[in-house]
Structure 1
Amino acid sequence: MTSADLKVLLDQLIAAWENEVAEFKQAGNEYDTDKIGEYFSALSNEANLRCVERAWLVFGINDKTRAIVGTDYRRDADRLQRLKNQLAQGTEPSITVRNIHVLDDERGRVILMEIPAAPRGIPISWKGHYYARAGESRVPLGLDKLDEIRQQTLLQDWTAQLVAGASLDDLDEGAVRRARESFAQKYANRFSSEEVERWPLTVFLDRARITQNGKITRAALLLLGQAKSAWHLSPHPVQLTWKLEGVERAYEHFGPPFLLETTHLYQRIRNIQLRILPEDQLLPVEVSKYDQKVVLEALHNCLAHQDYTRNGRVVVTERPDRLLFENEGGFFEGQPSDYLEGNKIPRRYRNPFLAQAMAELNMIDTMGYGIHDMHARQAKRYFPMPDYDLDEASAVRLTIYGGVVDPAYSRLLIQKTDLPLADVLALDRVQKKLLIPEEAVTRLKRMKLIEGRKPNYHVSAAVAEATANKAEYIRTRAQDDEFYAKLIIDYLEKFGQATRAEINKLLGSKLSDALDDRQKYNKIGNLLTKLRRQGRIVNTGSDTAPSWKPAKRIT
């Protein structure tokens, strides 16, 4: 904005004076950043409630006389702009001043901070506290206003909104060409590719449900827009981010058109071939670390279900053995487990316009098969099942594994290719040391796929001996109590006596590796008690410092 524009704006704000969306302060050389943050929260929330796009916090005005008196607040330009980052760090969800304008009036320097309205349905807090305005005062956000914001309809589809000022010139030619090809492929039984190619661009885009009556929507810019046109969607970052973590670290941002850029992001992922079984096994199997269809399905789901009103980006983190996908907003319809069998059809979408456009371009389906297909494809590759981590309304995190967690699990899937997905899911939880329902335990034990005692289930002997390293199996299989009792008796007969520490050392490495240290300690204590009650050993020491000897040596 020019100086003339700023003067006009300032005059308009002063004429309206302090209301719920404007605050004036004289502000000296320093002004408490926490107070600015509280005003930021209050003004942003009030702008939301009054359906205006922005609010204003103005420094350099006497709040009694309404006169310009000037301010020395952060005269260094870089330090002034750093205020944006400070505010972003203290607000939740993270949001910042759109612009900080400086007007050098003849009466003094004036700072005008442009504060965006809180997203629909999401109040803005400063360091965990919500604020509002009551006349000219800053007050805590009342429950009535808090509920009003949170109950704002989420059915207003952000992706369906028309973008003022955007035109067909903002679309990427390569993305439009790919869109025609994908659409023609989806409807090959109705239209020939030549016919689709002959349609005028506006006709094609409307038929593909990307535009509305030839006008550009936010969905159109996300899927087909040029990177340089992303500013139309500000303050949304309009980004996919790939991040590499491990010995090497790297990252890259990808902007529109997402129809093309999701594939480019996939190509950044290190997708090597893996040998699941060791070289000395009879049936070594090589598979790619990641399945392209699984990765793109996960990434496209992030785009389709992202809560764009939260102004966040989709992040894909590549770790040495897995991929982590994160998108803003809670799981919108049901729970991920509802879709595992492929029978549930979602009744609603957070972004129905975008979801429909992506379905028309063959990026996703709208029948709820995606989650089922990802699990089924991972099972066919003998890899662990995907994991979902839901953070209420904040974010959805999906983990796709690119390595083996338990070799026995992968060997079992290779041996038994006809296992129902429900059993594969239960076995996956066993290998991850997670609880499984009792009915699943009974079923898997009856099929001799697992053994052990709750909660330390593991691959059964029949499977382990046929498909796994037997020495590894013996380390995890529990022996009979008499086996351990004989070790204790033999030790005492040879050395005459033993302390508890010596017996712990004797049995510690021989007990099942499925037991933790506490469970091993209790197991040894139970064995000693059992032998004492049988009259086979005695304690000649104290309860706190026992000294165990064979019973026959006592005279």
Structure 2
Amino acid sequence: MDQTALSVLLARLISDWESEVVEFKRGKDGFSSSDLGKYVSALANEANLRGQDRAWLVFGVENKTRAIVGTSYKEDLTHLNADKLQIMNGTGSFTVREIHVLNHEDGRVILFEIPTAPRGMPISWNGHYFGRAGESLVALGQDKLDEIRSQTLATDWTAQVVPEASLADLDPRAIKIARERFIAKHANRFPPEDIERWSDTALLDRAKLTQNGQISRAALLLLGKPEAAWRLSPHPAEITWRLEGEERAYEHFGPPFLLATSQVFSRIRNVQLRLLPENELLAHEVSKYDQKVVLEALHNCIAHQDYSRSGRVVVTELPDRLVLENEGAFYEGQPEDYILHERVPRRYRNPFLAQSMTELNMIDHMGYGILDIYQRQRQRFFPLPDYDLSEADVVRLIIHGRVVDPAYSRLLMKETGLPLVDVLALDRIQKRLPVAEDALRHLRRRNLVEGRKPNIHVSAKIAAATESKAEYIRTRAQDDEHYARLLCDYLGKFGKADRAEIDRLLTDKLSDALSPEQKQDKISNLLTKLRRQERIFNAGSRSKPEWRLAE
């Protein structure tokens, strides 16, 4: 919203004054992140119960007098936007839609735009659910909690309890992995040693896989033993991998889907490809398919499948692409709504399963998954994925494993800061798909495309200046295995390393395109990955780690 629209919105909110879906605060510097998270939980839940599509938390307005007094809360925009991540850490995967700053003549006003809690999925803050009683912040009453949870319980196939099913029907390996994923997801909410002490029953209830200890269909899909799949009949409970081309093969994978998705990925032939930048001798090596992209897409298929149609998820491997299919039309909006991060899903076909998968760190339920798939393909200089919705009640996602136009890939190597909206238009041009006239004019002004209709193509004129080459080398990202080898070589030579030593080893070698915070996250993710692969282990404590090579 621009400043005029924000002024009109604020005037309307003040005129209507406080309700269960609007809260005004002075918003002093000392407003705690804990209180902020509680209000987000309360307002999101109340918006759901009142049929509203959003709620508002407003800083800079005096509650008693309705006067605009201004606020000095986090005047640094970077620190203000960091609240989104802070909220997401406390809720699991829910956060504000946008943080608007209005420079009003009477003072600075901040408006937190909070999406409604999805149907069937109440929002918690650090494990506790909040609501409103008039103007007061209170614990969400059991009646309200039950009302939200029951919104889709009767129609959600995955939420149904399976009679006679028990913990004996669940795979112990899958439960172990589920515990590890839950620990990683909630590391800032529960001490890992506490979660390790929970019984399996307590863990599954906390992870929203069971209902008061009763086994749901979602639990059998994600954690069930293969021999217990009959309890889901007539649904086949299968993921099918097909190889098509000169060679043909197939394999079916049943529960537990928590483990099966990695097994499916292991069947895909994933060779290393070499992309050579213009006028460069140093090739950029990438895998044909990015594991995170494929698993994110596959997990989305599982989460959004229409299980009432008794179909299976199908992954077809062709020589130059993967096609992932699931039953059911695209449920909430259109794919392009999520690619530019303009939409947060309000509803889910399988809210119980979606929440379970969120708790196990398989998906998020804010609509970021599709955007992440597109961003990772863009960072690898590959064609962007395509959604095929031409067949009714079927969603197909195509992930490309081959360069379509070398000029497109070289342009992305050079112009690493291109906005995603421009990359989307360039991708359509390389695939000979229509592009909006205003987007085409914009690309021409930036000299990113050449030619006349209908023969428009991505510009092949890549600057060859030494400075541009050096900038490419500095910002080019290496594969994780490159950094893993550096770390393992260091540990092999010196025996051990604390986090500070590892930071000194790797920080300067990471891409300059990453911010300092992103570099820290990259190193943390690398350590977690190597630990899970049992290549390294922490011989120290959580607060003072001492990393060593595994035997």
Q: TM-score, normalised by structure 2?
A: 0.55
Map of 1:495-510 to 2, 5 A cutoff? none
| Structure-2 separation of matches of 1:280 and 1:307 | 50
1:302 alignment partner AA? C
Q: How big is each residue's C-alpha offset from its partner over 1:415-474, in whole Å with a ceiling of 9 and x where there is no partner? A: 11111111000000000001101111111000001011122101236349999xxxxxxx
Equivalent in the alignment of 2:410? 411
Is the aligned partner of 1:460 residue 2:470? no
- What amino acid is the match of 1:444? L
CA deviation vs aligned residue, 1:138-182 (integer Å, no higher than 9, x gap): xxxxxxxxxxxxxxx997000000101111100000000100110
Segments of structure 1 that go 5 or more residues without pairing to the other structure are: 1-152, 468-555
Q: Within 1, Cα distance between the matches of 2:319 and 2:412?
A: 23
Aligned pairs for 1:420-431 (under 5 A) are: 420-431=419-430
Q: Identity across aligned pairs (percent)?
A: 67
- Cα deviation for residue 393 of structure 1 reads 4.1
Q: Residue 138 of structure 1 aligns with which residue?
A: none
Say whether residues 1:371 and 2:386 are aligned partners.
no
Whichever residue aligns with residue 294 of structure 1, its letter is: V
Task: Determine if contact 1:210/1:220 at 8 Å carries over to the other structure.
Answer: yes
Partner of 2:447: 448
Aligned to 1:266: 265
The answer for the alignment partner of 2:64 in structure 1 is none
Residue 183, structure 1, aligned to residue 191, structure 2? no
Greater Cα shift, 281-290 or 352-361: 281-290
Give the match's secondary structure for 1:385: coil
Provide the C-alpha distance between the structure 2 equivalents of 1:255 and 1:212, rounded to a whole number of angstroms: 23
The equivalent of 1:203 in structure 2 is 202
Cα gap change, 1:461/1:299 in structure 2, threshold over 3 Å: closer, same or farther? closer
Residues 346-385 of structure 1: CA deviation (Å, up to 9, x unaligned): 0000000000000000000000001111001000000000
Letter of the structure 2 residue corresponding to residue 173 of structure 1: P
Q: 1:445 to 1:396 in 2, by over 3 A?
A: same
- Counterpart of 1:462 in 2: which secondary structure? coil
Q: Tell whether the 8 Å contact from 1:155 to 1:350 is kept in structure 2 after alignment.
A: no
Deviation at 1:193, TM superposition (A): 1.9
Residue of structure 2 in register with 1:167 after alignment: 166
CA distance in 2: counterparts of 1:320 and 1:195, whole angstroms: 48
SS in 2 for 1:345: coil
Q: Does 1:327 align with 2:326?
A: yes
Amino acid at match of 1:382: F
1:154 and 1:410 map into 2 onto residues whose CA distance is: 47
> SS of the counterpart of 1:412?
helix
- Verify the 8 A CA contact 2:278 2:462 in the aligned structure 1: no
Q: Any conservation in 1 of the 2:279–2:464 contact (CA below 8 Å)?
A: no
Q: Distance in 1 between matches of 2:357 and 2:458?
A: 42
SS of 1:318 mapped into structure 2: strand
In structure 2, distance between residues paired with 1:362 and 1:195: 19
1:215–1:227 distance in 2 versus 1, CA, 3 Å: same
Q: What residue number does 1:311 align with?
A: 310
Preserved CA contact (<8 Å) 1:449 1:463: no
Residue type of the alignment partner of 1:344: R
C-alpha distance 244-154 of structure 1, shift in aligned 2 (>3 A): farther
What corresponds to 1:388 in structure 2? 387
After superposition, the Cα gap between the structure-2 partners of 1:279 and 1:444, relative to the gap in structure 1 and judged at 3 Å, is closer
Give the aligned partner of residue 61 of structure 1: none
Summarize the Cα distance change of 1:164–1:391 in structure 2 as closer, same or farther, 3 Å threshold: farther
- Structure 1 residue 392: deviation in Å? 5.6
1:330–1:391 Cα contact (<8 Å) kept: no
What corresponds to 2:225 in structure 1? 226
Give, in whole Å, the separation in 2 of the partners of 1:273 and 1:287: 6
In structure 1, the partner of 2:240 is 241
Which amino acid letter does the alignment assign opposite residue 404 of structure 2?
A: V
Task: State the one-letter code of the partner of 1:331.
Answer: F
Amino acid in the other structure paired with 1:205: L
SS of 1:294's equivalent? helix
1:243 aligned counterpart, secondary structure: strand
What CA distance in whole angstroms lies between the structure 2 residues aligned with 1:236 and 1:171?
A: 18
CA distance in 2, matches of 1:459, 1:465: 17
SS for the counterpart of 2:299 is: helix
Can you list the C-alpha shifts for 1:455-511, whole angstroms capped at 9, x where unaligned? 2101236349999xxxxxxxxxxxxxxxxxxxxxxxxxxxxxxxxxxxxxxxxxxxx
Between the aligned partners of 1:428 and 1:309, the Cα distance in structure 2 is 36
Counterpart AA for 1:162: V
- Output one character per residue of 1:28-76: Cα deviation in whole Å (capped at 9) or x when no partner: xxxxxxxxxxxxxxxxxxxxxxxxxxxxxxxxxxxxxxxxxxxxxxxxx
For residues 294-348 of structure 1, the C-alpha deviation after alignment (integer angstroms, 9 at most, x for no partner) is 0000000000000000000000001111100000000000000000112311000
Letter in 2 for 1:438: E
The 5 Å alignment of 1:345-364 reads: 345-364=344-363
Letter in 2 for 1:418: G
- State how far apart, in whole Å, the 2-side matches of 1:154 and 1:451 are: 54
**Residues paired across the two proteins, number:** 315
CA contact (8 A) 1:277 1:407 kept: no
| SS of residue paired to 2:461 | helix
Separation in structure 1 between the aligned mates of residue 260 and residue 429 of structure 2, nearest angstrom = 37
1:196 & 1:407 partners in 2: Cα distance?
50
CA–CA distance in structure 1, aligned partners of residues 356 and 460 of structure 2: 51
Q: Tell me the equivalent position of 1:286.
A: 285
User: What are the Cα deviations for residues 389-419 of structure 1, in whole angstroms up to 9, with x where unaligned?
Assistant: 1146420000000110111111111111111
Report Cα offsets for 1:95-129 as digits up to 9, x if no partner. Answer: xxxxxxxxxxxxxxxxxxxxxxxxxxxxxxxxxxx
The answer as to 2:212 corresponding to 1:213 is yes
Q: Secondary structure at the match of 1:203?
A: helix
Q: Is the 8 A contact 2:278 2:464 kept in 1?
A: no
Q: TM-score, normalised by structure 1?
A: 0.55
> Could you say which residue in structure 2 is the equivalent of 1:252?
251
d(CA) in 1 for partners of 2:461, 2:277? 20
Letter in structure 2 aligned against 1:301: N
Secondary structure class of the residue paired with 1:242: strand
Using the TM superposition, give the Cα deviation of residue 282 of structure 1 relative to its aligned residue in structure 2, in angstroms. Answer: 3.3
Give runs of aligned pairs for residues 89-128 of structure 1, distance below 5 A: none
Equivalent residue letter for 2:158: T
Structure whose alpha-carbon radius of gyration is higher: 1
Matches of 2:194 and 2:208 in 1, distance apart?
17
Q: Matched residues in 2 for 1:280 and 1:448: separation?
A: 19
Q: Is the 8 A contact 2:277 2:413 kept in 1?
A: no
The CA distance in 2 between the partners of 1:154 and 1:452, in whole Å, is: 55
CA change 1:235–1:429 in 2 (3 A) is same
- Classify the secondary structure of the residue corresponding to 1:357: helix
Q: Is the 8 A contact 2:384 2:399 kept in 1?
A: yes
Letter in 1 for 2:389: L
Q: Would the aligned equivalents of 2:329 and 2:394 in 1 still touch at CA under 8 Å?
A: yes
Give 1:339's aligned residue: 338
Amino acid at match of 1:169: A
Q: Which runs of 5+ in 2 are unaligned?
A: 1-151, 467-551
Per-residue displacement from partner, 1:487-546 (whole Å, max 9, x unpaired)?
A: xxxxxxxxxxxxxxxxxxxxxxxxxxxxxxxxxxxxxxxxxxxxxxxxxxxxxxxxxxxx
Task: After TM superposition, give the deviation of residue 219 of structure 1 in Å.
Answer: 0.2
Aligned to 2:127: none
- Supply the AA of the counterpart residue of 1:251: Y
- Which protein has greater RCO, CA pairs closer than 8 Å, 6+ apart? 2
Q: 1:416 to 1:183 in 2, by over 3 A?
A: same
